Amino acid sequence: MSRPYYIAGNWKMHKTRAEAAELAGALASRLADGKHKYLVAPSFTSLETVGAILRGTNILLGAQDCAPAEQGAHTGEVSVLQLKDLGVQAVILGHSERRHIYKEDDALINRKVKLALKHGFEVILCVGELLEEREAGRAEAVCETQTIQGLEGVSAADIPKITIAYEPVWAIGTGKTATPEDADAIHAFVRKVIARLYGTDAAEKIIIQYGGSVKSENAAQLMAKEHIDGALVGGAALTAETFVPIAKFA
């Protein structure tokens, strides 16, 4: 079956509000005739600014993370209630930087996933292996564990709100990209895991993005693969010149 392509830009810790507004405005005009599903995830500080520009466009407003609790004594955290108040529609969870730099484990990520779903957000759940895990032949095992534990307790009714993003950690910001064949093999494997958990229909419908040094030069080859349904773009999402060609890949 044909799944819609979903291209998301993760701006990470870049851009002042003025810079974010400029990029959001450029994307809103240049992607107005785009055929795919789009999202951008600015820093928390720019969500309100960017949200005002994107309102009524075909680009969803995403957040890069959320706290595992609705409110309370959590210094430095941002809650789902605050994100909802800003018009955020989707949350990226379990990004490799959260896992490996900030030591978030699967149980914590799972709490965030369930809380985000409870409050009506779409979720992009990131999974992926380190270089040493891939070299040890454990890429599939790592992605399987992260998928199963990340979705623990998530109902079949909520699965349509989940997108999986496969990010081979060794290919992020390194200029190394998994070959389209490497990436597609893991995507196919993750789809089998979803089929086991939620049935074939859910597995056929779930969107699995690729995230690992996606550029305009490799976007079309990646998207041509059967199980690759879009991209979670980092560095190339930071300018309209580099993001639009990926978003409009032919």
Q: How far, rounded to the nearest angstrom, does the alpha carbon of residue 78 sit from its chain's CA centroid?
A: 18
* pLDDT value at residue 249: 94
Cα atoms in the Cβ-side hemisphere of radius 13 Å centred on 45: 10
CATH number of the CATH domain containing 185: 3.20.20.70
Residue 185 lies in a domain: yes
Catalytic-residue membership of 95: yes
Kindly state the tokens that stand for 101. Answer: 């730099």
* Tens of pLDDT, residue by residue, the chain (250 residues): 689 999 999 999 999 999 999 999 999 999 999 999 999 999 999 999 999 999 999 999 999 999 999 999 999 999 999 999 999 999 999 999 999 999 999 999 999 999 999 999 999 999 999 999 999 999 999 999 999 999 999 999 999 999 999 999 988 777 777 899 999 999 999 999 999 999 999 999 999 999 988 999 999 999 999 999 999 999 999 999 999 999 999 7
- Interior angle at CA 44, CA 124 and CA 116, nearest 5: 40
Q: How many domains does the chain have?
A: 1
Residue 1 lies in a domain: no
| Catalytic residue chosen out of the listed positions 104, 122, 133, 167 | 167
Q: How many CB atoms lie within 10 A of CB 138?
A: 15
Q: What is the dihedral of CA 207, 210, 211, 215, to 10 degrees?
A: -120
Residue 116 lies in a domain: yes
- Identify any residues that bridge with 8 across adjacent strands, giving them in sequence order: 39, 232
CA terminus-to-terminus distance, the chain: 19
CB 212 within 8 A of CB 186: no
Residue 44 lies in a domain: yes
CB 149 within 8 A of CB 112: no
Going from the C-alpha of 228 to that of each of 79, 88, 134, the distances in angstroms are 31, 25, 19
Residue 179 lies in a domain: yes
Amino acid at 165: A
Prediction pTM value: 0.97
* pLDDT value at residue 1: 61
CB 22 within 8 A of CB 29: no
Q: SS3 helix, strand, coil % of the chain, rounded to 5? A: 50, 15, 35
Crossing angle of helices 17-30 and 240-247, rounded to 10°: 40
Alpha-carbon distance of 25 to 22, in angstroms, equals 5
Catalytic-residue membership of 167: yes
- Helices (H), ranges, the chain: 17-30, 47-54, 80-85, 96-100, 106-118, 131-135, 139-150, 180-198, 200-205, 216-223, 240-247
The residues, ordered by sequence, that sit 6+ positions from 209 with a Cβ below 8 Å of its Cβ are: 6, 7, 8, 124, 163, 164, 165, 166, 228, 229, 230, 231, 232
| Catalytic residue chosen out of the listed positions 95, 129, 133, 227 | 95
Task: Note down the domain range covering 77.
Answer: 6-247
* pLDDT value at residue 96: 96
